[in-house]
Structure formats: structure tokens, C-alpha cells
Amino acid sequence: MKVKDNFLENSYLKHINEIFLSEEFPWYLHGVTDEKDDNKHFYHSFYEKNNFNSGFFEIIKPMVEIINPITLHRIKLNLLTKTNEIIKHDFHKDNSSKNLISSILYINSNNGYTEFEGGKKINSKANRLITFKSNISHRGTTCTDEKFRMVLNLVYVK
């Protein structure tokens, strides 16, 4: 697993954040993330299995070029609303393939985190990129100190 702080230039991160939070940017309700909470999970799918799902891909293209994947599998932006207590979601794998890599870019800082099986936690710090094999079990959480937790998840072949 790799952790890289200050992954993007601050001006670019600010630019994409402004777009993601604008009234023109489409968010879709995924619904309740699991049965133990009632917070909402919003998402925006940029790319899924050879399909550009979004007219907004150009916004994140410079970031994708930095990562320089051989092949994209999925790019999805997630926004989880604030909760009174941190809610840990179920462990999952982004993909069971040994050949795929996952990267998570934290868009905003908050007290949420990504936890890996075995207990390792990576705190949500704006402009931090974590990279790991897609078949490693992990889970996200909500946050209690900001209005939302926003992360960009990329799955690809490197």
C-alpha cells in the first residue's frame, strides 16, 4: 500500500472541488449504504467498464494522466453525509482480480477514514492518495466533523 500526500496541485484540487460542489454537477442517490444507518450515499460515475458515464470526465482527466493507468476499470466519486457518530461500513473488495489496482483520493479533510482488514486506518486528508491492490478488503466510514466525506475511487490496471 502506498500513501501520497499533496498528490495534486492545490489549485487543481480546489478547481475540481468547486465543480463537484456546484449546482451543475449531477449527484445520484445510492440510498442507504447498509442497514445499520440512515445516512445517504451520493455518487457520480465517471467511467465503468469501457463506458464513459459522465460528460464531466474531462475535469478529472489531468489526474488520471498523473496516475497513468494502462486500462481503466472504474472511476466513481462518493459523497457520504455527516452522521452523529462515525459509522463503519462493511468490508468489501473493489474487485477480486489480482491484476487491478485501486486508488482513493480524499477530496476533503474530515475525521472519517478508510480501514483495511487487520486494522490499518488511513485518515481522510484532503489531497491524499492511497493506492492498493483491488482485491484487498477495506471499508469506509462516515464523518462527524464536516458536512460530508468525499472520495474519488479509481480501479485500473497499471
pLDDT at 42: 93
pLDDT at 151: 98
User: Residue 43: inside a domain, yes or no?
Assistant: no
User: Residue 37: inside a domain, yes or no?
Assistant: no
Q: How many domains does the chain have?
A: 1
User: Residue 78: inside a domain, yes or no?
Assistant: yes
User: Residue 41: inside a domain, yes or no?
Assistant: no
- The CATH number linked to 131 is 2.60.120.620
112: containing domain: 2-22+54-157
Q: What is d(CA 118, CA 132) in angstroms, rounded to the nearest whole number?
A: 14
User: Residue 30: inside a domain, yes or no?
Assistant: no
**Statement: residue 99 has pLDDT above 70:** yes
User: Residue 139: inside a domain, yes or no?
Assistant: yes
pLDDT at 31: 59
- In tens, the pLDDT along 16-52 reads 999 999 999 999 987 554 555 556 789 999 998 778 8
Burial of 99 (0-12, 13-18, 19+ CB in 10 A): middle
User: Residue 14: inside a domain, yes or no?
Assistant: yes
